[in-house]
Amino acid sequence: MQSPPGALYKRLIAGLSLSLSLVCNCVLYATAAEPASIKSAVEEAATPIKSTDDKVVLEAMEEELSRSMAKLKNVASAPLYFISYSVYDVASQDLVASYGAMAQDEESHNRNLYVELRVGDKNMDNSHRLRGSLPTKSPLAFGRGGFGGGAFPLEDDKDAIRNRLWNATDAAFKRAQTDYMQIKTNRDIRIAEEDASGDFSEAEKQVYIEPVGDLAIDKKAWIERLRKASAIYKEFPEIDDSSVNFEVEQVRRYLVNSEGSRIEDNRKSLRITTRANAVAKDGMVVRLYDGVEVPKVEDLPSQEKIEAMVRKLAKEVVDLRNAPPAQPFVGPAILKSKAAGVFFHEVLGHRVEGHRQKDETEGRTFAQKVGEQIMPPFMSVSDDPTRDTFDKHPLVGYYKYDNEGVPAQRVQLVEKGVLRGFLMGRSPIRNFDKSNGHGRGAPGSAPVARQGNLIVDSDNRVANTKLRAMLIQEAKAQHKPYGLIIDEISGGFTITQTFMPQSYSLLPLRVTRVYVDGRPDQLSRGVNIVGTPLGSLERIICAGKDDDTFNGRCGAESGWVPVSATSPSLLVRTIELEKEYKQQDQPPILPPPPAENK
């Protein structure tokens, strides 16, 4: 995995990742309510997250691309018709404090190369899917850290850069010829494809140059802030593992292609996150996460807000530890706004990614449903990576150009319940032959159609008090003793391939029972939400008047990319819960040392 999303995500990913990269594993963490300025923590002596000079890197890329196109075009049986080079200069700082002491202090700087090389023609080239076997890594993934010649130079030495490009291009070209011959043979012996669209679409030349910029942080000041915030967990002896993280990442992207596009742009990300675990008496590990991600230093939360976030999370983890375990359940529920955003990301978002509509190993749930109603007529869904905020909340899925060099565009996916379109990269599908700027991938990975900023809207909204009353009414109508409110969720995953169940799973952290007989609400723990897409979307009854945003990272076949999902709270007629896996170890036998001393 290129460009790992940080210490918090590594812990979460370990519990979510499935084999073969066949599912989308999403880790989405909550956004702080209202960012506040911390300009006092940024000084002239701040540590820069260093970027690089532009000229040498881009000149070397352009020169080698021109040479390769001119001299490789007709030297083999399958003609070369397209090359794109992308270099990602990634600089990061990762600080982690636990229990009042620093636990991690890492800086990294690396460059990732992705070479996209196509032979044949736009109707059929070496990217075409081989049919008749399980899907494997995309044949275009030539830049994953070592293919064709080792690591990419960190120094701006033109000869070294061109040598690496030459080496990777040579390996990519040879593999492309082999792949193309296999694809031609495969096509001759297989049945006709349901979607006979070509393999590549035209795109206009783009030239965009962003100035080089450095992120400067006062590392010493931040270390003290993290120590102070993480020490709050000492007050909660029930919590056995916790941390407060500060992660800074700056990515400078260079893209040149044989169509004449030339793009240099930046992506800056600053993340404050906190997590805490506790073990319940029955051995179940409960955990919560919270955090904020912003593109600018001045948008980070103040120390007071960070400490308030930590203290609130600690109290909620203790409450969750002491709550009774939930039971399998089918009935009505309110998905609070952030949970509803994750719901749409998994249930709808991945199934409207364009490349999945013609891949015959995919379920293609919505491929033939354009113009049909797939959800209630008061619901609409769009994806808009051109937006950087929603009601003052930063949207981390913002970008100007996608990873294929196409300008980002707003896409209306569902309008008043009717499916209108798909998220498109440069792989055309039936009736959608152009990219709409959603070709995305992690640095060094082959881009595919992916979500950016998913935004859910509703024409049928009520106040939250009314939504709760409607939940109770629906539970009574179904003869259920209670309905559910799901207001914290760590993420989810979905399966879209035909040889596995077409299902999704969401990972709620806080599930509250709302009893129909007036008893007090009861917090519970230890369940997952499961379901299938078509039935789930039809069961939406109403939306609340609140909107909130989940920011996080989504993992699929093109790696981990930043995404957001914005939605109002939703009342759904039926949610199914299943028991979560539970460990069998007892809670810690001894209390933590500070608690025993007290």
Kindly state whether residues 414 and 513 are assigned to the same domain.
yes
Kindly state whether residues 536 and 515 are assigned to the same domain.
yes
Classify residue 235: in a domain, yes or no: yes
Residue-by-residue DSSP string for 424-468: --SS-BTTB-S--S-EE--TTS--EE--SEEEEEES-EE-HHHHH
Kindly state whether residues 318 and 415 are assigned to the same domain.
no
Question: What does the buried/exposed string (b/e) look like for 165-179 if buried means 16 or more CB atoms within 10 Å of the residue's CB?
Answer: bebbbbbbbebbbeb
Classify residue 584: in a domain, yes or no: no
509's enclosing H/E stretch is: strand 504-515
CA 491 to chain centre: 10
Q: Which amino acid is at 325?
A: P
Which among 322, 344, 374 is the end of a domain? 322
Which among 322, 354, 374 is the end of a domain? 322
C-alpha separations of 71 from 80, 166, 438 in Å: 10, 12, 32
Mind listing the pLDDT tens digit of every residue in the chain (598 residues)? 223 334 333 333 333 332 223 344 444 333 433 333 333 333 333 455 554 556 899 999 999 999 999 999 999 999 999 999 999 999 999 999 999 999 999 999 999 999 999 999 999 999 998 877 554 444 454 443 334 446 799 999 999 999 999 999 999 999 999 999 999 888 877 778 888 899 999 999 999 999 987 778 899 999 999 999 999 999 999 999 999 999 999 999 999 999 999 999 999 999 999 999 999 988 888 888 888 888 888 889 999 999 999 999 999 999 999 999 888 899 999 999 999 999 999 889 999 999 999 887 777 888 889 999 999 999 999 999 999 999 988 899 999 999 999 999 999 999 999 999 999 999 999 999 999 999 999 998 899 999 999 999 999 999 999 999 999 999 999 999 999 999 877 767 677 766 566 667 777 878 999 999 999 999 998 888 887 777 889 999 999 999 999 988 898 888 999 999 999 999 999 988 887 766 777 788 888 887 776 6
* Pairing state between β 461-462 and 540-556: parallel
What range does the domain containing 485 cover? Answer: 329-579
pLDDT at 497: 65
pLDDT at 503: 66
Which among 88, 93, 76 is positioned nearest to 170, based on CA atoms?
76
Kindly state whether residues 419 and 519 are assigned to the same domain.
yes
Distance CA 6, CA 452 (A): 20
- Give me 299's structure tokens: 């948008």
Classify residue 13: in a domain, yes or no: no
Distance CA 48, CA 55 (A): 21
Length of the chain: 598
Kindly state whether residues 194 and 265 are assigned to the same domain.
yes
Which among 141, 93, 91, 133 is positioned nearest to 113, based on CA atoms?
141
Q: Total structural domains in the chain?
A: 2
Kindly state whether residues 426 and 345 are assigned to the same domain.
yes
Kindly state whether residues 273 and 338 are assigned to the same domain.
no
pLDDT at 598: 62
Classify residue 597: in a domain, yes or no: no
- 8 A C-beta contact, residue 425 and residue 441: no
Strand partners, 273: 245, 291
Kindly state whether residues 364 and 296 are assigned to the same domain.
no
- 8 A C-beta contact, residue 324 and residue 280: no
- 8 A C-beta contact, residue 524 and residue 513: yes
pLDDT at 43: 36
Kindly state whether residues 298 and 419 are assigned to the same domain.
no
Kindly state whether residues 169 and 264 are assigned to the same domain.
yes
- 8 A C-beta contact, residue 220 and residue 166: no
The enclosing domain of 254 has a CATH number of: 3.30.2290.10
- 8 A C-beta contact, residue 28 and residue 550: yes
Strand partners, 251: 90, 267
Please name the residues in contact with 357: beta carbons below 8 A apart, sequence gap of 6 or more.
195, 364, 366, 367, 422, 429, 430
Kindly state whether residues 255 and 275 are assigned to the same domain.
yes
- 8 A C-beta contact, residue 396 and residue 551: yes
Classify residue 121: in a domain, yes or no: yes
Classify residue 470: in a domain, yes or no: yes
Which among 143, 164, 107, 136 is positioned nearest to 2, based on CA atoms?
143
- Give me 165's structure tokens: 């490009």
Q: Indicate the SS3 state at residue 581.
A: coil
C-alpha separations of 412 from 310, 527, 557 in Å: 38, 33, 24
Classify residue 593: in a domain, yes or no: no
Kindly state whether residues 144 and 108 are assigned to the same domain.
yes
Classify residue 22: in a domain, yes or no: no
